[in-house]
Amino acid sequence: MMHNLDAAITEYASAALLRYFRKSSTVSIDRTRFDKGRDLELLRHHWALSGPVRYLLSYLLEHRHETQALLSFQRRIDDAVVRGRIDARATLLHRARTGLATAVVSNEAVRSYDTGPNQVLAWVLYQAKVLSGRLSSWQEDGSGYEILAEDVIQKLDHVGRIEALREALGSPAVGRRPAPGTLRDAARSRRLLYRHAVAAHDLLKGVERGDSDAIEAVIKTTLVGPLEIWRRFELAVAMAIGEAISQTYKAPMKISILSGNSAEPVLSCGPFDVFWQQRTEHYKKAPYEPSEEKLAGIMKAYGLGSGGDRPDLIVVDREKGRVAAIVEVKFLAGDTANSRFREAADQIVRYGRGYADEDALTGLISRSLVVMSAGAPARIDLNATGVPSAADLASIKQESLSAWSAMLRL
């Protein structure tokens, strides 16, 4: 049951992100607010952590013997020494030109790793190293992407010590994209190592081209993959909120999830910004209630802080300069749906005091939202005021957030 829910959440979040990229690639940039240079460049960085790249690294470390050298010939001129097949014509010409009667021109057979399929492999490894290192530097401590990036970087470090690859990785040409003929040679190789390298190369090329299948492969194995299931659910809800606002207010959506900057809204749409796990500048600490004051006293006696709870998602109305809604997202993992809904409702009321004064608090709570992974309760009293809306994964997949999004400007 848990596995099915996990798969459903991942599928919904991935599909929502893919709809954004697919729509953005077919509509003019001005209308979609889609920055191809920014968003696809960030997806290139995520490619470095994608499944095909990670599999290539693991396969290479386990099958080092598959790296193959190609035989090539190097022209040599020696004095009375023959190091390969003699080039008689070149030898006679060189002796006549220089007057050295014992000079010999020969073609020496040498093995080189900086040729053919190894150039494809080296290029993929070089791109993965540059992009994963840059993506890692953008992450905060404990980020799922940081852990994944460090794993890739560590494997790349081990790969760099393979003797057979040092020549190709150290070549000045490693930063140049492989020629079509080189790619064909690698794709036709009987060694799986080079075919895996071509697959990683083609995935990156597809991302750069804006191909939806390539973007989906990257999204599923990196953007959504490293997140814990409850974070994936929060991401899925954020995307559902963005799509609902976009449809209701006929405004384009702009996502910033890829950037890794937690201070920015994860998405913007029309006059609204959606923040993920951020208090935002609109938060003002409300005076303690009697029970909160007692708890603060207990924590102070033990030298502990009172905590820094923050809403899962906050919808900010930029034009009105206020928080339009607080969204609490609850993933069921053993608790009952009723207990988790009660917890979410309590949090909305408590957080609301930091975003609205007493007169505006009821309105803020009415515009707020509780989203459950399953089993959201049905509202019985439709006339009650100061009551947040409720939804679950099944209902948001049916676009049930449209009515809720229409209340954000009330």
Q: Give the residue carrying structure tokens 């020549």.
A: 167
Does residue 134 sit in the same domain as residue 241?
no
Residue 45, domain extent:
36-66+116-223
My answer on whether 190 and 246 are in the same domain is no
- What is the mean predicted confidence (pLDDT) over 181-189? 91
- Kindly give the pairing relationship between strand 103-112 and strand 70-79: antiparallel
What is the predicted pLDDT for the residue at 112? 55
Backbone phi, psi, residue 95, to 5°:
-65, -40
Determine the average pLDDT of the residues in 270-275: 95
What pLDDT shows up at residue 261? 56
**Arithmetic mean of pLDDT, 273-294:** 89
Same domain for 393 and 273, yes or no, is yes
Is 45 within 8 Å of 222 (Cβ atoms)?
A: no
Rounded Cα gap, residues 264 and 29, in angstroms: 21
Name the residue with higher pLDDT: 35 or 62.
Answer: 62
Q: How many domains does the chain have?
A: 3
Mutual orientation of helices 2-26 and 36-47 as an angle, nearest 10°? 140
Q: What average pLDDT does range 95-106 have in this prediction?
A: 89
H helices, E strands: number in the chain: 17, 10
pLDDT band at 32 (very low <50, low <70, confident <90, very high): very low
Q: How does residue 142 score in pLDDT terms, banded at 50, 70 and 90?
A: low
Structural domain contains residue 48: yes
pLDDT at residue number 273: 96
Its pTM stands at 0.70
pLDDT in tens, 316-362: 999 999 999 999 999 998 789 999 999 999 999 999 999 999 899 99
Residues 208, 245, single domain; the answer is no
To 5 degrees, how large is the angle CA 363–CA 368–CA 372? 155
Backbone dihedral angles phi then psi of residue 287, each to the nearest 5 degrees? -60, 145
Please tell me whether residues 93 and 147 are part of one structural domain: no
In a domain, 388, yes or no: yes
Q: 382 exposed, middle or buried (CB, 10 Å; 0-12, 13-18, 19+)?
A: exposed
- Strands in 272-276's sheet, in edge-to-edge order, are 253-255, 267-269, 272-276, 313-317, 322-330, 369-372, 389-392
- The one-letter amino acid code at 321 reads G
What pLDDT shows up at residue 17? 78
User: What is the arithmetic mean of pLDDT over 63-82?
Assistant: 76
Inform me whether the pLDDT recorded for 408 exceeds 70: yes
The verdict on residue 5 lying in a domain is no
Contact, 313 vs 274, CB < 8 A?
A: yes
Quick one: 155 and 193 in the same domain? yes
The per-residue pLDDT for range 121-137, each reduced to its tens digit, is 999 999 999 999 988 88
What amino acid is encoded at 377 in this protein?
P
Residues 149 and 100 in one domain: no
Q: Are both 90 and 126 inside the same structural domain?
A: no
255 shares a domain with 217: no
Q: Check residue 260 and give its pLDDT.
A: 55
pLDDT of 353: 93
Residues of the chain with pLDDT > 90, as a percent, come to 45
286 Cβ contact partners less than 8 Å away, ≥ 6 residues apart? 353, 354
- 188 with 253, same domain: the answer is no
Is 21 contained in some domain?
A: no
Q: What is the 3-state secondary structure (H, E, C) of 161-215?
A: CCHHHHHHHCCHHHHCCCCHHHHHHHHCCCCHHHHHHHHHHHHHHHHHHCCHHHH
Determine the pLDDT at residue 308.
64
Q: Could you tell me which residues come within 8 angstroms of residue 76 by beta carbon, excluding any fewer than 6 positions away?
A: 83, 84, 105, 106, 107, 108
Residue 25 confidence (pLDDT): 41
Query: Mind listing the pLDDT tens digit for each residue in 231-243?
Result: 889 988 999 999 9
pLDDT tier at 285, thresholds 50, 70, 90: confident
User: Comparing 105-114, 195-204, 377-386, which segment has the lowest mean pLDDT?
Assistant: 105-114
Q: How many CB atoms lie within 10 A of CB 298?
A: 10
Query: Of 223, 239, 269, which residue sits at a domain end?
Result: 223
**CA–CA separation, 196 vs 181, rounded Å?**
17
Q: H-helix or E-strand containing 229?
A: helix 229-249
d(CA 96, CA 87): 14
